[in-house]
Structure formats: C-alpha cells, structure tokens
Structure 1
Amino acid sequence: MTKRKGGEVIAEYLVEQKVPFVFGICGHGNVGMLDALHAVRDRVRLISPRHEQAAGHMADAYFRVKHRPVATLTSTGPGSANMVMPLVTALSDSSAFLAITANVPTSQANRGPFQELYAHNQADFAQVLRPVVKRSFQPSRVDMLPLALRQAFDTMVTGRPGPVNLDVPYNVFQEEDDVSPPLPSHSFGVHRPGASAADVAAAVDLVAAAKRPVFFVGHGTTLSEAGPEMTELQARWGIPVITSPNGMGLVPADDPLTLGFIGRNGAYPANQAGRFADLVICIGTRFDDRSSSSWNPGYSWNFPTTRLLQVDIDPTEIGRNYPPTLGIIADAKTFAGQLIAALAERREIDRASFAAWRAEVAGWRAEWEAFVRPNFALDTSPIRPEFVVGALADVLPDDVILSLDSGVHHNWFMQFWQPKRAQSMLNSWGYSSMGFGVCGVLGAQLAAPDRPCVAVVGDGGFMMAPHVVATAVEYDLPCIWIVWNNFAWGAIRDLQYGLFEGREIGTAFYRGNQGPGGERYNPDFAAWARACGADGVTVTRSRDLRGAVETALRNRRPCLIDLHVDADVRPPSTGTWSLPPIPYKEPIFGRPHRLD
C-alpha cells in the first residue's frame, strides 16, 4: 500500500467501478475532491450543471437509461441540501446514484463552523438525507473510505436499487493514509433471486384456474431488463399486459394486448381489464393511489374478489395495499423465466385458453379508439394536446428517449404515448418531482449520446430549472426541450375547476397578476434559449409542429420549442383519484364495475 489522500481513494475507486461521470458543482468543501478528480479527468469526466438539483436528476436519468450508477458531488451546506429533491425522486422510483456530499472538517465538528448542522448532533447533515437514501455512510478518516465505498456501491445496486450518500468531512479529501481502493463491486445484475419450486407451481396453478388473467408490470421489471421474458409471456399465452409509466416500452407498444397505464389518467382498456380480471399477476410495481384509482373498488381493481399474484424483489412492497393470494420475493426477470418454463410444461394452458378474454379486450380497445382518435387530427390554435402526442409519435424516431416532467402534459403521455423500447420513457412517478424531466434529459443524453433525447415539460416545470439550456450548450448536448406552454400550473388548475365549482386562484399566469380575463403571461422561452446559445422557436399552430421537431432533430443542437397548447382540453378520466376528504369524481369515459 502507498499513502493516498482520501480524495484519491474515492477517485480511483470511481475509475475501478468504470463510473464515467461525476455530476457536481464546486464549493469550498469539495475543492480537495475536485483536485483528485483532476488527476483522473481522462477517465472520469466532471460535468457541472448550474444547480445541484440538476446534477441529481441527471444522475438519476443516467441510471434509468444505462442501468449503471454514476456519482454526484456537492459541497458543504446548501449545495448538498439541494440534493434532497433528486435523491427522494430516485429513491421513490428505485433509481441509483452515489451522492458524495462534503461536510465540515472533523477538527471543527460541534463548534458551529460555517455551514455545520449541529443542533442535535455534530456534523449532522447525514440525518437530513436519511429518509431519502437507501443508506448514508459518513467515513470520518481516510482508512474508513475503502469499506464505505464498497458497501455504498453494493447497497446501491443490490436488491431494489436506490441512491446512497457518502458524506465526507472535507479534511478527509486531503488527509493521507496507507490505504488502497477496495476491489470493484460487481453486484448489479448478479443477485437475481428466484421463486421456490413450490411457489412457481402455485403460481402456475393460479394461471391454470384463471379465465381472465392480466399482467401488471412496472419499473422493477424494467430495471431487471425482463422485456424479452414478458414479451414471450404476452405473445405465447396471449395474456394482456398493463404497465406503469416506468414499465412502458417493456412489451411491444403496438401489440393489441399491450393495454397501457391504469388509473384515473390511464387508458380505458387497461381500467376495464383491471376491473374484470379474475387474476392479476403483478411483477415489479406498486399499487399506489394513481395506479389504483385511490384503492376505490371497481374503478381500476377488484381485490380481493380478483386473485392477486404479487412478485417483487422488495418484500416490503408485497401486500402493502392489497393482500396477495400468493406473494413471491424474487427478481422480475428470473421469475418471468421460471414462469415461462413452468407454463410450457402444462399443456392444458395455451393461448386458446384465454381467447374469449382477448375478444373482450379487443372490444374495449375499439371503444376507446372510436372515442379518442378523431381529436388527434384536429388542426387548431392553440394546439390540442392529442395532436401534440400524435405528431411527436409521427416524427420522433423509434430510438428516442423521452424525458417527461410532472404536469398535465404527463397525463396525456401516460394515456397515449407508445414507447418502442424499454428505458426510453423517463418519468418521475413515485414523488412526481417538477424539474426531473427538465434536468434529466441531460443525463439521458450523456447515457445515450447517439440517440435523440427529448424533454416534454410544462411551462411551470421548465421555469424551475431553465438553466439546463445553458448546460446543454456548454457541454454540446443536442437535447430538445418541448415546453408545453398553457400559461398555467395546468394540472392543479384543472383540479380547482373540477373540485371547487370553477374557482381558480394561484394556478394561472397573468401579466400584472390581473387574474381570469386578464392578459396571459409567460416569458419568451424561445428567446431564452437563443440567449443561451441554443436554437429556439415558438409554435402556435398545429401544422407547424412536425416541421419544427424535424428541424431540431436534423440540426443536432440544443433546441427549445415553445409550444402553445390549449389549456381548456383536459385528459379524459377513465378511473378516479381521491384527495380526501373531497369527494372524488366519476370517470369521463367508462364506469366502475364491482365484481362482487
């Protein structure tokens, strides 16, 4: 062993782990670590956005595309506090990155130095992050770093992935000790537990007894890269598949048995299949309120009348909201392969077994198409939301990565977008953080430099992180932002209209804060992009949208399209959603059905 500074130990371990990027912002507390990164700059590239939140969302999106973790670096105090939002976003959606935060030097701990939290414990910042990471490590000496680094990487990617914090007193970056970096971790993708033979047999028995089975799959299945197995199960046995937003693209989107998302803003065929199914095979996803119509029976699901086979690598998710008929702790890809093999041995279970069920599903699809499809062709100004989704489906290539922010635009894409590949529709689902899609597209572009990366974001969300355009120009990232400009916090304004008899306050943008009837106001987003050195164009007519997107794709430069979208057209609800104690609304299309 040779003497190494703490920063060198961390930097060398990042090299050993083949971490290509650190997304971080400088500060007095991490200059020692920056110096260590300078020494390995040919192998680990430092990317510095203009806000720490952007760094975290970039790292999160990188993992969602690549399924390999990168690191972030922030300084003592406020810089690291800005990481709370991206960390909780990643934790909620099972995405992983290593958040390296600097803390006050050990010699000054508990003395109240610049930016120390000390009211309850010395150097207490790790406790701020405790609820929003899988684990926080706080090595206070150089010789503690090797173990902490190895455990941090193992923790991130073993089992259910999640972010991990390495909180380092900034003297440790520069102090020396006789240590070597630990051997690299190879945990990700190695630990794939399967179901027991008895559980597999019981699962097959449930399928054999079913007449109307349906799969419900989500991000856990995507993270496990179980697309080939799920596609085979869907095609070979003819079982419909419902997906969470983070599961979209896992099975062929154009397959008539791919039903899309479920819940209030889900697709009608998905909600119908959930209501009428007699067996739900849930793999790697949660029954949260938005994917279960707030657990109101008959709106999306009918448990316990409907039997439930729930498979998850995280035992705490099994039975959280619905007690399963059979719960199995297993990796999604491993279990799907086991199910294929076991079903193949049962000759009485074949595609013909569920023919009548598929016919019902086809009828629901036809009803839904007849209801929604005419609006996709309407040429209007401002532009109808359906037209936007349809036009982007026409012009964006199959390998596009779509980075979606929170807002009413997301509801439209959940209902109607059909991604052609897994890991290509990025959503902040569990925590629904505004800014994720705005910033995440930068990380997606670094993860997939040869693929087009397009962020569709609301005007409210974009204004939370408009500096991303400058970062794209600085690092020559050809990202495209399509700003869904409806001059409002549209999703919340729609809730006000629907739940409070049309009363609106604080959700629409007016010049001089004039209120309803006044002049609508937003900055000139296209001009902002051009001021940053990017391309910027404003689109107010339907007929101009396709050409604007095609030009942006062809130019391969950072570009922002300010898209004026009709704020008075709302997604058609096919389920419901509760904001207790306010009474929930009935579906706009379709009606609930209780099996019992």
Structure 2
Amino acid sequence: MEAMLSSSPMLVLTDTSDGGVGQHPANQSGAGEYGSIDLHNIFRSMTKYTTLATSPKEAALGAQLAIKHAMSGRPGPACLLMRSASIGGEVDLESPPFIHDTAGYLNTAKPQAAPADIEKAVEILSQSRRPVIVAGNGVHMAGAHGALQQLAEQWNAPMATSYKGKSAIAETHPLSVGMVGIYGQEAANRAVGDADTVVIVGAKLSPQDTVRERPTVFNPRGQRIIQIDIDDRNAGWTFPVELGLIGDAGSILGQLIEASAEASGSTARNRSEWAGALPNRKQDAGFYEDAGLHTDSSPVLPQRVVRLLQETMPAETVYALDAGNNRTWMAHLFQSQQAHTFFCPGGTAGMGWGLPASVGLQVAYPGRQVVCVTGDGGYMMTVNALSTAMQYNLPIVCVVFNDGALGMVRHHQAPGQYIASEFAETDNAAVARGFGCFGVQVADSRNLADALRDARASGLPAVVDVLIDRGPSPDDWRADLRTAGET
C-alpha cells in the first residue's frame, strides 16, 4: 500500500498456499482453512497489476509483465501470485516455453508534452515576475534532479519541494527555500504564497503540502499554475491549473530548458527584484534555524540530534526516515546538502518503514553512508532488519529518538491521560548488540557526536539510541501555521 501511494516500483512475488495437506481443493476452498484468503482481490486493491500463474511458463511471463507495469507510467507495485504448480512444476526441456528478453518490455519512450503546450508554458514564465518551482516525488522517480536545478537557474526561480520531494534539489542551493507545507520552512510557504506563477513538478500536493489548501500558500485565483505530472489525474486535481503538462518529469523539464533558453534571458529583468530579495527573505523567515539546534542538554533535544547528524555525517549521506515525530523534526530542520539523499514514507506513512528501507538503500548505495532515523516505537516494529543487515554486512547507522513513548500520539493526549502510548524503559542499543551490531546509548548531547563517529567507524550495522527530551513537540511551530489561517 505504501508503494502504491508513494509511486514506488515494486515486484511482489507470493504463493497462494494451495495444494498442501492443510488446504481443501479449489472447489471447497474458502471455509476458513489455512491459505483460503482471496489474495487476488486483496492485492488488486493496492497494486497497479496483479496476475495469477498456474504453470512455470505463466510464472515467468507473469513476472515480466509485472515488472513492465511496475516501471511504466506512474510507477507502483505489481504482484505475481503463484499457485503451487507454477512453483513446483517442471518445464519440458524438449519444448521449453518461448520467453522474450525482459528488457524488450521496458523499451518505451518517456512521454513528452506537446510542443504547443511547451510554448505556452514558456510564454507564461516569460510574463512572470515572481515565479516559484515546487518539486515533488516525481522528480526523484524520473531522476530529473539535474534538469530541475538547471530550469530553476535558467529562470532564477526559487525552488521549494513537497514533503516527498525533499532533496529534489540540495537545500543549500542559493535558490532553495526548503520544504513547503505544514511541516515545511516558513521561507518556502512565503515564497509560494507571494509567487505570481507556480510550476509544480511531479507533486500531488497533499493537504500536508498545501497547509490544507490555505490560500495564503497556494491560490489559483491569484496565481498562474503550471503542473507537470506523469499521471493526468494529478494535474489539476488539488487545484485548477492554467496548463497541465502530462509526461515524464525529466523529459518535460528538458523540453522547457531547450525552449526557454532565449526567453529566460531576454525577460530576466522582470524577475531581478524577486531574485535579488531572496537571501533577505530567507533570513527574515528563519531559514533552517531553531534555538534547539544549538542547545546542549540531557536528555537530548530532538532538534540537537538533527544538527549533530548534519555536522558529523558526510554530505552525500542517504537518509531513511520513519513515521512519527522523528521524521517531522528531520523534514523540518535537516537541510539536505545533496540531491536525492532523503527517503521517507508518505503513502500510508506507516511506522517501522525506516529500518528495512535503510537496509535496501545500503544495498542500492554500497559506497555511501546510509542513516536510518526512527523513533523507539518504529524501531521495535522492524528491529529484525538488523539481522538482515548483519547477514549481508550492511553498515547502516540507525539513530533512535528514544522518548519511551509513541511521541506523536502522546503529545495529542491530555496530561495524565496517556493511554497505550508509553513504553517500559528500554535500552535499544543493547537490543542491537544482541544481533551482533554496534550499539551505544546516549543521554547527553555533548556525547552524541562522538557516538555517531564511533558508529560509523565500527564498520558494523550500528544503533545509536538517543534519550531525547519528551517536552518539545513539532506542534510548537505548527501552531504558528494554525494561527496564520490553517483550518
């Protein structure tokens, strides 16, 4: 479900648990015996494509088509269900099934926008005085980070991102205004709200991104909106748009860059005041600033954990977040230093996502440090991923925000009425050492930097269990948004 809502390509292979000693034959199945659940309809509700294989040939061909559907258009999960005969059956070597190369199913051109629509987009941008670009997860999926930065620089347009689009551009770039939305930077909310033209690239614009459609952030009545998306349903879904460009984000950004090379220069004077004021606007909005970032204490302030991660980990570090307050602090205060280094759950935003995601990311990026940031609740939900990390020698670093609670739940319960939201005192580092991992618990922020360095130097999967202050809440700055007009 997370993959479906987050547009993540995934191949799901599973058996139907049929034909064993614990199952009725097909004509009697469904009375509640083991394996009698209707898997086909379950998976069909949360995948782009689900097919059933009844023979080895159908299993091979079904896997190829599942890969095609997972990768094409808007990416997502595809499922191959396999009956026991397709797994245990034999292929006749005298007349094997004719199977094509899987690559042939994927050789499709990236869809582009119509030339007339590209010309219209350039015309709108040429007439703008205060353009802003908002990038979403579609930029990550298309690998369009370089093209996005080039277009922003070409038009001297401030760059914001959605939550799922965070790190679509390095947030240290002069044109970056950070993440927009409820959990975002005020600099981004102000820049988008003051823009006369908004170019949305691969972002669905959730209520979180739009501050629940607050008109002082996105306002289609006072702004010209261009929306680029691989899925024609998304363009103009949350807000009406003046122009929807349907296709691959990378392809369309390339079209815009080529078509606007002359126009962006000849009309640059129109946007000079807007671009020139950006540094002061960011400073006035407290861009990536919070007193807690610089405050040492015991227990540790969550803001301080974010800053020390920023200071001790290499710029190219890849981060996997979990759900809960930990991801909110990171999304709000961590300033990504390179593009495509920030991965987070955003479909169902289920707890326990971060640790197994970091294992997968370490496989994908073997030469880079991968850091999981999780709460103690999410950590325990998938702590078995540490066993996998040990088995495959994957030196991830997992930083646990340990407040002995489901922090986000607890913050929304009345004092003295904390129900099912607090834990017994747990040493999560000791749990990690039980798997053979490096583990250290930190109670004072003055010891955290050394602990993070030791975790990296260990060469093992490592857990840094940070005892954090329960007091600070992301609601402290979300309240500013509510008083400013959030409904």
User: TM > 0.5 between the two?
Assistant: yes
The letter of the residue matching 2:455 is A
Q: 1:127 deviation in Å?
A: 0.8
CA separation of 1:556 and 1:270: change in aligned 2, threshold 3 A: same
Matched, 1:91 2:91: no
CA separation of 1:104 and 1:537: change in aligned 2, threshold 3 A: closer
CA offset digits 1:250-307 (Å, max 9, x no partner): 2232113211111111100011112111111001111111101112322x32223222
Q: 1:105 deviation in Å?
A: 3.6
CA offset digits 1:411-463 (Å, max 9, x no partner): 11111222233332110012201111021111111112221111010011111
Q: 1:587 deviation in Å?
A: 1.9
**Structure 1 residue aligned with 2:34, among 96, 115, 125?**
115
CA offset digits 1:177-213 (Å, max 9, x no partner): 4314331225658431111111001111111221111
Matched, 1:591 2:484: yes
Answer whether contact 2:121 2:226 (CA < 8 A) is retained. Answer: yes
- With a CA cutoff of 8 Å and minimum separation of 6, indicate the structure with the bigger relative contact order: 1
Q: Gaps (5+ residues) in structure 2?
A: none
Look up the match of 1:553. 456
Answer whether contact 2:56 2:85 (CA < 8 A) is retained. Answer: no
Q: How does the TM-score come out when normalised to structure 1?
A: 0.76
CA–CA distance in structure 2, aligned partners of residues 592 and 526 of structure 1: 43
CA–CA distance in structure 2, aligned partners of residues 304 and 523 of structure 1: 53
Matched, 1:162 2:76: yes
Answer whether contact 1:265 1:572 (CA < 8 A) is retained. Answer: no
Look up the match of 2:50. 136
CA separation of 1:293 and 1:507: change in aligned 2, threshold 3 A: farther
Q: Gaps (5+ residues) in structure 1?
A: 1-87, 119-123, 511-520, 577-584
Task: Identify which range, 249-258 or 441-450, moves more after superposition.
Answer: 249-258
Look up the match of 1:238. 156
Look up the match of 1:219. 137
CA–CA distance in structure 2, aligned partners of residues 303 and 493 of structure 1: 37
Look up the match of 1:542. 445
Task: Identify which range, 167-176 or 244-253, moves more after superposition.
Answer: 244-253
Look up the match of 1:271. 189
CA separation of 1:530 and 1:142: change in aligned 2, threshold 3 A: closer
Matched, 1:332 2:332: no
3-state SS in 1 of match to 2:138: helix
What number of residue pairs does the alignment pair up?
477
Look up the match of 1:422. 339
Aligned-residue Cα RMSD (Å) equals 2.3
CA separation of 1:181 and 1:387: change in aligned 2, threshold 3 A: same
Look up the match of 1:382. 299
Answer whether contact 2:126 2:264 (CA < 8 A) is retained. Answer: no
CA–CA distance in structure 1, aligned partners of residues 125 and 417 of structure 2: 49
The letter of the residue matching 1:173 is I
Matched, 1:449 2:363: no
Look up the match of 2:66. 152
Matched, 1:176 2:90: yes
**Structure 1 residue aligned with 2:431, among 506, 525, 528?**
528
Q: 1:395 deviation in Å?
A: 0.7
Answer whether contact 2:128 2:270 (CA < 8 A) is retained. Answer: no
3-state SS in 2 of match to 1:216: strand
**Structure 1 residue aligned with 2:318, among 396, 401, 418?**
401
CA–CA distance in structure 1, aligned partners of residues 208 and 75 of structure 2: 22
Answer whether contact 1:140 1:169 (CA < 8 A) is retained. Answer: yes
Task: Identify which range, 103-112 or 417-426, moves more after superposition.
Answer: 103-112
Task: Identify which range, 107-116 or 481-490, moves more after superposition.
Answer: 107-116
Answer whether contact 2:162 2:205 (CA < 8 A) is retained. Answer: no
CA offset digits 1:494-518 (Å, max 9, x no partner): 2346xxxx574325415xxxxxxxx
The letter of the residue matching 1:198 is A
CA–CA distance in structure 2, aligned partners of residues 195 and 371 of structure 1: 36
3-state SS in 1 of match to 2:441: strand
CA separation of 1:351 and 1:537: change in aligned 2, threshold 3 A: farther
Look up the match of 2:227. 310
**Structure 1 residue aligned with 2:238, among 293, 317, 321?**
321
The letter of the residue matching 1:93 is S
CA offset digits 1:65-122 (Å, max 9, x no partner): xxxxxxxxxxxxxxxxxxxxxxx1111111112111101347922322852336xxxx
CA offset digits 1:472-509 (Å, max 9, x no partner): 22222211111101122112222346xxxx57432541
Q: 1:385 deviation in Å?
A: 1.8
Q: 1:382 deviation in Å?
A: 1.2
Q: 1:591 deviation in Å?
A: 3.3
Answer whether contact 1:218 1:284 (CA < 8 A) is retained. Answer: yes
CA–CA distance in structure 1, aligned partners of residues 155 and 406 of structure 2: 44
CA offset digits 1:517-540 (Å, max 9, x no partner): xxxx33211111111111111101
CA offset digits 1:532-588 (Å, max 9, x no partner): 1111111011111110011111121111111011121123666x6xxxxxxxx5527
